[in-house]
């Protein structure tokens, strides 16, 4: 039976046959030789996920002072049923991610179709042909118990195998640039030893040809500036030896806008790996601490968001202060503290723990329960309540549902036997909670609602008029504002129309 990989849009792509695989190897060599003859260096990007696919297009889009491409880019994705579809999709010039950033389809079309210097493959032998590998393998933290991030760990099995593949193929002069967010210590303690081991097996003298390993983390943000957040933003980098550092500096300088966003070099890869996990932990802590003040504010008639605005007037010292909300989602703040905390024992065998960082993950992961508390106070029971959840992505005006706090909200409401309906204008399917259908029309979720939860700050929700919303409900639901999405005027209008309104950190509206 032919194996197929199914894209999110439902289109089926058969995995390559053995004959096709043989052809592919020959083709890769041919392309690479042609591109080298044109004076281009050859780059592979390992892993065509959320970061890798756009990074690959950015590398391919880089030009020299004459406007000619500097690199040819082979994007590599393993031939799994889950992910293979990305290869043919990219090779048709279409990005494998949806985004509100218009530059995403443009840069894929420009590099794949026009410049023809970006192509995806699933053949491992591609690594033998390249000068640079950018590692963008997905690496997640596992949190085995809800609200107990201290038990979290990082399963690096797949990551190690990915690096081992590189060790089996790359030429000694090839620079391996780890871009994946990794536990501090990974380049020194995992990547370098595996490459050394595989080099030695291949008869390469690692005294003469030590593996060239560098680290530079991305600071990508989904949304309207997705491509720019990779290309036009400050980067930190480091390497395991002077040659790696210089190759990394040269590569990043070719690819990124380092004139406007100068590079920062750190002493060693431990430092740059630590920097990434610390900067996200910093934000995670800053969010978590707002919840305790929000709860206090709710009980003493205070609007924590106006307090926050007052505090943030102090630019440079207080303007990073974040806001309480339904909770924290996405792929960084929820896991990076766990990666770093795990690394202390697992990679360095040192004592200690990152208490503030880990506590913040626990507070943030369980934050949705506070919204349920706000609802519980207004009803004798959650059982059978009709609840409309507006927003299931983790970021406003973005359709990304990874680690969305709405998932926790919906799961716990359903545990309490509420009848939950979910809406999101940007989300077609909710892979992390497949049993919930995500509606795109408010008319499918609002009628008869007892509670309407403004969970995410999508523009559509901020703009809807109370009378229009209530006309669809045909009830006077409890309105719950999870993060200051409704103005005081809007809240007063809801109240005037007979609704109760409650909100995270919004003590001033409690009657």
**If DSSP codes are grouped into helix, strand and coil, which group holds residue 70?**
coil
Q: Which stretch binds its own copies (CB under 8 A): 96-104, 317-325, 403-411, 463-471?
A: 317-325
For the record, the structure tokens of 495 come out as 């109240």
Toward its own copies, which CB reaches closer, 29 or 295? 295
Label residues 63-95 b or e (16+ Cβ within 10 Å = b).
eeeeeebbbbbbbbbbbeeebbbbbbbbeebbb
Residues 246-265 contacting its own copies, CB under 8 A: 264
Q: Which of 270, 371, 406, 490 binds its own copies (CB under 8 A)?
A: 270
Q: Does 153 bind its own copies (CB under 8 A)?
A: no
Q: Does 374 bind its own copies (CB under 8 A)?
A: no
CB 410 within 8 A of CB 402: no
Q: Quote the CA–CA distance of 358 and 284 in Å, as a whole number.
A: 9
Q: Which of 46, 42, 71 is nearest to 58 (CA)?
A: 71
Q: Which of 18, 259, 267, 435 binds its own copies (CB under 8 A)?
A: 267
Q: Does 433 bind its own copies (CB under 8 A)?
A: no
Q: Does 63 bind its own copies (CB under 8 A)?
A: no
Say how far residue 260 (Cα) sits from the centre of its chain.
24
Toward its own copies, which CB reaches closer, 7 or 228? 228
Q: Does 373 bind its own copies (CB under 8 A)?
A: no
Q: Does 171 bind its own copies (CB under 8 A)?
A: no
Q: Quote the CA–CA distance of 328 and 361 in Å, as a whole number.
A: 9
Q: Give Cβ neighbours of residue 103 (< 8 Å, ≥ 6 apart).
A: 226, 227, 228
Q: Does 299 bind its own copies (CB under 8 A)?
A: yes
Q: Which of 10, 203, 352, 431 binds its own copies (CB under 8 A)?
A: 352
Q: Does 409 bind its own copies (CB under 8 A)?
A: no
Q: Which stretch binds its own copies (CB under 8 A): 86-94, 242-250, 279-287, 462-470?
A: 279-287
Q: Does 288 bind its own copies (CB under 8 A)?
A: yes
Q: Quote the CA–CA distance of 359 and 402 in Å, as a whole number.
A: 21
Q: Does 328 bind its own copies (CB under 8 A)?
A: no
- Provide the angle, in degrees to the nearest 10, between the axes of the packed helices 192-201 and 157-169: 40
Q: Quote the CA–CA distance of 164 and 156 in Å, as a whole number.
A: 12
Toward its own copies, which CB reaches closer, 184 or 405? 184
Q: Does 355 bind its own copies (CB under 8 A)?
A: yes
- Report the chain's terminal Cα–Cα distance, integer Å: 65
Q: Which of 81, 201, 314, 437 binds its own copies (CB under 8 A)?
A: 314
Q: Does 381 bind its own copies (CB under 8 A)?
A: no
Q: Which of 216, 338, 207 is nearest to 269 (CA)?
A: 216
Q: Does 350 bind its own copies (CB under 8 A)?
A: yes
For the record, the structure tokens of 419 come out as 């009848």
Least distance to its own copies from the beta carbon of 193, Å?
16
Q: Give Cβ neighbours of residue 274 (< 8 Å, ≥ 6 apart).
A: 184, 340
Least distance to its own copies from the beta carbon of 356, Å?
4
CB 171 within 8 A of CB 126: no
Contact footprint for its own copies (CB under 8 A): 184-185, 219, 234, 236, 264, 266-268, 270-272, 274-275, 278-279, 281-283, 285-286, 288-289, 292-293, 295-297, 299-304, 306-307, 309-311, 313-314, 316-321, 340, 344, 348, 350, 352-357, 359-360, 363, 508
């Amino acid at each position: 039976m032919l194996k197929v990989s199914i894209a999110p849009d439902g289109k089926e792509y058969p995995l390559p046959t053995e004959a096709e695989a043989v052809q592919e190897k020959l083709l890769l060599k041919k392309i690479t030789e042609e591109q080298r003859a044109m004076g281009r260096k050859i780059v592979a990007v390992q892993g065509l996920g959320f970061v890798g696919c756009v990074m690959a297009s950015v590398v391919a889009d880089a030009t020299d002072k004459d406007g000619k491409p500097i690199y040819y880019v082979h994007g590599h994705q393993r031939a799994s049923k889950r992910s293979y579809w990305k290869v043919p999709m990219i090779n048709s010039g279409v990005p494998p991610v949806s985004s509100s950033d218009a530059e995403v389809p443009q840069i894929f079309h420009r590099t794949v179709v026009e410049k023809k210097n970006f192509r995806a493959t699933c053949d491992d032998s591609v690594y033998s042909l390249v000068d640079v590998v950018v590692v963008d393998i997905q690496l997640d933290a596992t949190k085995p118990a809800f609200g107990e991030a201290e038990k979290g760990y990082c399963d690096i099995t797949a990551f190690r195998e990915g690096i081992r593949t590189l060790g089996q193929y790359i030429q000694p002069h090839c620079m391996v640039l780890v871009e994946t967010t990794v536990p501090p210590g990974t380049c020194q303690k995992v990547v370098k030893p595996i490459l050394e081991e595989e080099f030695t097996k291949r008869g390469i003298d690692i005294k003469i040809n030590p593996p060239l390993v560098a680290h530079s983390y991305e600071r990508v943000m989904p949304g309207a500036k997705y491509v720019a957040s990779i290309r036009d933003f400050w980067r930190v980098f480091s390497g395991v030896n002077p040659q790696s550092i210089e190759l990394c500096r040269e590569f990043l300088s070719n690819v990124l806008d380092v004139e406007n966003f100068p590079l920062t070099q750190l002493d060693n890869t431990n430092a740059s790996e630590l920097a990434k996990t610390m900067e996200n932990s910093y934000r995670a802590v800053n969010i978590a601490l707002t919840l305790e003040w929000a709860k206090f504010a709710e009980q003493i008639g205070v609007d924590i968001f106006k307090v926050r605005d007052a505090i943030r007037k102090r630019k440079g010292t207080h303007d990073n202060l974040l806001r309480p909300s339904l909770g924290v989602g996405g792929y960084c703040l929820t896991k990076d503290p766990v990666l770093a905390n795990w690394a202390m024992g697992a990679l360095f065998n040192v004592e200690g723990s990152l208490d503030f960082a880990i506590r913040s993950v626990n507070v943030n992961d369980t934050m949705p329960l506070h919204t349920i508390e706000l609802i519980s106070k207004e009803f004798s029971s959650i059982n059978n309540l009709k609840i409309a959840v507006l927003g299931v992505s983790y970021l406003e005006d973005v359709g990304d549902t990874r680690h969305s706090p709405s998932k926790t909200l919906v799961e716990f409401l359903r545990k309490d036997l509420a009848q939950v309906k979910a809406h999101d204008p940007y989300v077609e399917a909710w892979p992390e909670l497949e049993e919930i259908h995500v509606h795109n029309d408010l008319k499918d979720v609002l009628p008869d609602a007892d509670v309407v939860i403004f969970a995410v700050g999508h523009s559509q929700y901020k703009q809807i008029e109370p009378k229009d919303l209530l006309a669809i409900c045909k009830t006077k639901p409890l309105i719950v504002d999870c993060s200051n999405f409704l103005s005081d005027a809007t809240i007063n209008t809801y109240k005037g129309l007979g609704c109760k309104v409650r909100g995270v950190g919004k003590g001033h509206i409690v009657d």
